[in-house]
Amino acid sequence: MKIYYDENMPFVEEFFGDFGELVPFSGRSLTAEQVSDADVLLVRSITKVNEELLHLNSNLRFVGTATIGVDHLDQQYLKKRKITYTSAPGCNAISVAEYVLSALVVLAERHLFNVHELTVGIIGAGNTGSRLSEKLSALGIKYLLCDPLLAQSGDEREFVALEKALSCDVISLHVPLIREGEFSTYHLLDEKRLSHLCDEQILINACRGEVVDNKALLQLKQQGLKTKLVLDVWESEPDVLQPLIPFVDIATAHIAGYSLEGKARGSEMLYLALCQQLKSTPKKQLNQFLPTPAIDRVEIKHDFSEVLLNQLVKMVYDVRRDDAIFRHQINNQGFDYIRKTYPARREFSAISVILSNSAIDDVPHRLGFNKEPN
């Protein structure tokens, strides 16, 4: 069996090595000739899997994407070919939620506001939006959920209209890219909606670049819009709208979900799906492969506070690092190089937090930090 996989997927050899020959590829430049003899194809969101890519292949039995979304897969074509396909929903949801939290901590320090006083509008309440809401709840931060599709499906959570969510102090986008129909998210934030944002608001996009009209956003910024921007995703990636970058407070290269745990969960989920496809009993688990972090244990002797939140979050992940890498390398090395060479980053769960006996609340543990094992 020949298994072709995106070179940026971690632990592929550990999970899939027993199944057959492993062949890595560059996700952006993959060609039909390269995968003409593939039995299994493992991709990420930058690879479009369609007839153009697969027309030379007659062996393919399984396509897995180590991402939440499937908008890069031609599902009708795969069904027509009777090729099994699967994704990894929720694999990097925690990573994206912690990216948002790091961005808020950094902006709070930079602009001297208290994150606990914010109201966050979460647009898109699936896996990622839900994980973000849980972390905000742990901190006592108020949030509103907007997701008309889930609201219609019978989800019992309380939802608000889009305009209500857009009036919050922070707007955090976590929707899939849907280009048409009643629930279209393409240019969900168009020129009209962007123009109604106020100077004190923060707009965070860590889902799909096309959800925000980048050209309209640039024009409004050039006209004096002061809304703070955190952009991890961009229209027309990897061709970023360069004039927009100076107006963005935190700019990164579609890496919000790029924690080691987030990427590795994607590999594990595809491994489990392939085992099911092959009727093979799974023998491997992610915790067998994750390395011990340089700092894996922290003792806290004081009650939780804004200062402690700042220190804990940035100890694990300081988004300013990725912002600096982006601004330094985007012109010379480029968008895909930044993603390919992304330095290791862990999630809160990699660190055990030990609280003093006098601690009133266990906020760190509810935030996702590990408890010291007994």
Q: Domain total for the chain? A: 3
Question: What local confidence, expressed as pLDDT, does residue 220 receive?
Answer: 98
pLDDT in tens, 75-97: 999 999 999 999 999 999 999 99
Question: 221 with 264, same domain?
Answer: no
Of 44, 174, 187, 254, catalytic: 254
Residues 113 and 237 in one domain: yes
Please identify every stretch of the chain with a pLDDT value under 70, giving residue numbers as ranges.
358-360, 373-374
Instruction: Say whether both 17 and 141 belong to one domain.
Output: no
**Domain boundary pick from 193, 226, 251:** 251
Give pLDDT, residue 316.
96
**What's the confidence (pLDDT) of residue 373?**
60
* Whether 237 is catalytic: yes
Let me know whether 231 and 280 are in one domain: no
Burial of 215 (0-12, 13-18, 19+ CB in 10 A): middle
The pLDDT score that the predictor gives to residue 318 is 98
Pick the last residue of a domain from 196, 225, 251. 251
**Catalytic option among 98, 237, 261, 268:** 237
Half-sphere exposure of 95 (CA within 13 A, CB side): 25
Set 208, 339, 345, 346: catalytic member: 208
Ramachandran class of 75: left when φ > 0, alpha when ψ lies in -120 to 50, beta otherwise: alpha
193 is catalytic: no
- Asked about 191 being catalytic, the answer comes back as no
pLDDT of residue 309: 93
Q: Residue 7 in contact with residue 24, Cβ under 8 Å?
A: yes
Residues 163 and 184 in one domain: yes
Q: Are residues 77 and 100 in the same domain?
A: no
The reported pTM is: 0.90
Ordered DSSP codes for 141-202: -EEEEE-HHHHHHT--S-B--HHHHTTSSEEEE------SSTT--TTSB-HHHHHT--TT-E
Q: Where are the strands (E) in the chain, listed by range? A: 2-6, 21-25, 40-43, 62-65, 84-86, 119-123, 142-146, 170-173, 202-205, 228-231, 250-251, 297-300, 352-355, 370-371
pLDDT of residue 360: 63
Other Cβ atoms within 10 Å of 46 Cβ, number? 20
Question: Order of strands, edge to edge, in the sheet holding 62-65?
Answer: 21-25, 2-6, 40-43, 62-65, 84-86
119: CATH: 3.40.50.720
Residue 360: give its domain's CATH number: 3.30.1370.170
- Residues 201, 228, single domain; the answer is yes
Q: Are residues 113 and 237 part of one domain?
A: yes
Domain with 162 in it: 93-251
Same domain? 48 vs 138 = no
C-alpha–C-alpha distance, residues 272 and 319, integer Å = 32
- Are 143 and 189 within one domain? yes
